[in-house]
Amino acid sequence: MSMQPWRRGSSFRLVTAAVGLTMLLGACAGGSSAPPAPGDHAALPPTIPDQRTTATSSPETPTTSSSGRLDDLTPSVVYGLGRFPEFPSTALQPSIAAALQATLDAAVARGTFTGVTAAVVVGSVGHWSGTAGSWNGSAVSIDSRHPTHSAAKTIVAAQVLRLAEDGMLDLDEPASEHLPPELGFFDANGATIRQVLAMRSGIPDLDEEAGYYPAELVADPVELFGSLAAASVAPDTVTRYASTNFVLLGTIIEHAKDRPLADVLRSDVLAHTGLEGISYTVGNAMASDGWGVETTAASLARWGYSLYGGTILTEESLKEMTDFQHHWYGLGVMDFSSEYHTYAVGHQGLSSVTTCCSAIILLALPDEAIVIAVQANTDGTTSTNADVDRLAGDLWGVVSN
């Protein structure tokens, strides 16, 4: 991916005017990246208390300038992966919100997207969501759900890591040992669960070139894994993006919990305030790669803030998830650091041939406690993931300048 460098540095300084001043006066406490091929795939409610994070200290509350900009007026606030402050209960200031909205409007006006919806969360400062243009012939609404595509792989990855935290599986055990009886014929190419999560299993996609979700070609996991060609590479030899890996993980989750995938997710990793906008229209393991998953931009951003901020998983699990080992893909997460020239993680999503036409990014900047979600309608345009990535960078530029 060729990207404009929106570099701000690894330490970000935040500010919030009257609130910070009142606190002070009153002495109050306060590898190379490559995107997957197609088919690979208003105010937000306050947060619930974090029960999973291992962080023991709260970041310093920032202050703002009278201009309303996020100016560089106070000492650095120290954030990091698994160490975000509680989800901010207030909206971003009107001047910032107006600049973010203008960024979306400009993207539609110049024809980059037919429509777009986005959400931004800045830890200890505020949150925002907005829309521009149209989707399926109607004006885009902040309350309407649109596809996540492969960005929902982050949800399944988190659930697998949660099972590991709970002692229900070991990431370094063979994946085949955790499959349901009906998949007893499939050896998963001898790959471990960790290798499946990291797209390093060697398991091929059902159709490597056409860009379909597996669910568009077969009815269920038994048909899927019974139809796969033999693997051509051994595990842990190459990072090769294949959505079949995540369908396999979905079957592992269902077998471990003895319930349909969507039920497990909703009662576990998605059982947090603000994630109600995420909907699984397909309830079984075929949705594990993002097929049939829809969300509002606000809930997608809230998911990213909860996941990478430490609400969903322990800090140790997050470190495992983002241990890229010089590859571009971790455990259900993409490394965007080279694109954004700072520590950046998340996941892209792109519509398949038959689900045309949209592109998604969930972007987290852990050192700044910033999360951005963008869902773009690319129908009638030539835009790709790179254009969505660029828009996310532009939104970042608004809140970090």
Mean pLDDT of the residues in the chain: 85
Here the tokens at position 58 are 């709260």
Cα(378)–Cα(386) distance, integer angstroms = 12
What's the chain's length in residues? 401
- 255: tokens are 């077998």
Handedness of CA 252, 256, 258, 262 (dihedral sign): negative
Rounded to 5°, angle at Cα 367 from 363 and 372: 20
- Cβ-in-10-Å burial (0-12, 13-18, 19+) of 273 comes to middle
Which one, of 102, 109, 106, lies nearest residue 398 by Cα? Answer: 102
Is residue 288 within 8 Å of residue 261, measured between CB atoms? Answer: yes
Q: What is the mean pLDDT of residues 270-294?
A: 98
Rounded CA gap, 61 and 299, in Å?
A: 24
pLDDT for res 44: 29
Domain ranges of the chain: 36-147+295-400
Between 26 and 287, the more confident residue is: 287
Global pTM? 0.84
307-325 tens-digit pLDDT: 999 999 999 999 999 999 9
Residue 99: alpha-carbon gap to chain centroid: 24
Beta bridge partners of 387: none
Per-residue pLDDT, 72: 39
pLDDT band with cut points at 50, 70 and 90 for residue 66: very low
Confirm if 363 and 344 have CB atoms less than 8 A apart: yes
Q: Cα(129)–Cα(289) distance, rounded to whole angstroms?
A: 26
| pLDDT tens track for 140-199 | 999 999 999 999 999 999 999 999 999 999 999 999 999 999 999 999 999 999 999 999
CA distances from 304 to 122, 235, 284, 337 (A): 12, 29, 23, 16
* CA gap 83, 356 in Å, rounded: 37
CB 214 within 8 A of CB 206: yes
pLDDT for 343 equals 98
Nearest alpha carbon to residue 285 among 227, 241, 221: 221
Q: How confident is the model at residue 77 (pLDDT cuts 50, 70, 90)?
A: low
Give the model's pLDDT for residue 78.
84
At 229, list the tokens.
């060609």
Q: Which of 205, 207, 199 has the alpha carbon at shortest distance from 237? A: 199
**φ, ψ for residue 397 (rounded to 5)?**
-60, -35
Q: Please, what is the angle between helix 297-309 and helix 153-165, to 10°?
A: 30
Alpha carbon 312 to chain centroid, angstroms:
13
Cα 96–99–105 angle (5° rounding)?
Answer: 145
Closest Cα to residue 303, out of 354, 269, 329, 345? 269
Q: How many CB atoms lie within 10 A of CB 311?
A: 25
Is pLDDT above 60 for 74?
no
Please give the pLDDT value at position 76: 55
pLDDT band (50, 70, 90) for residue 207: confident
Q: How confident is the model at residue 231 (pLDDT cuts 50, 70, 90)?
A: very high
Amino acid at 303: W
What the block records as the tokens of 344 is 């950046």
Contact indicator for 200, 239 with CB cutoff of 8 Å: yes
Q: In the prediction, which pLDDT does 209 show?
A: 67
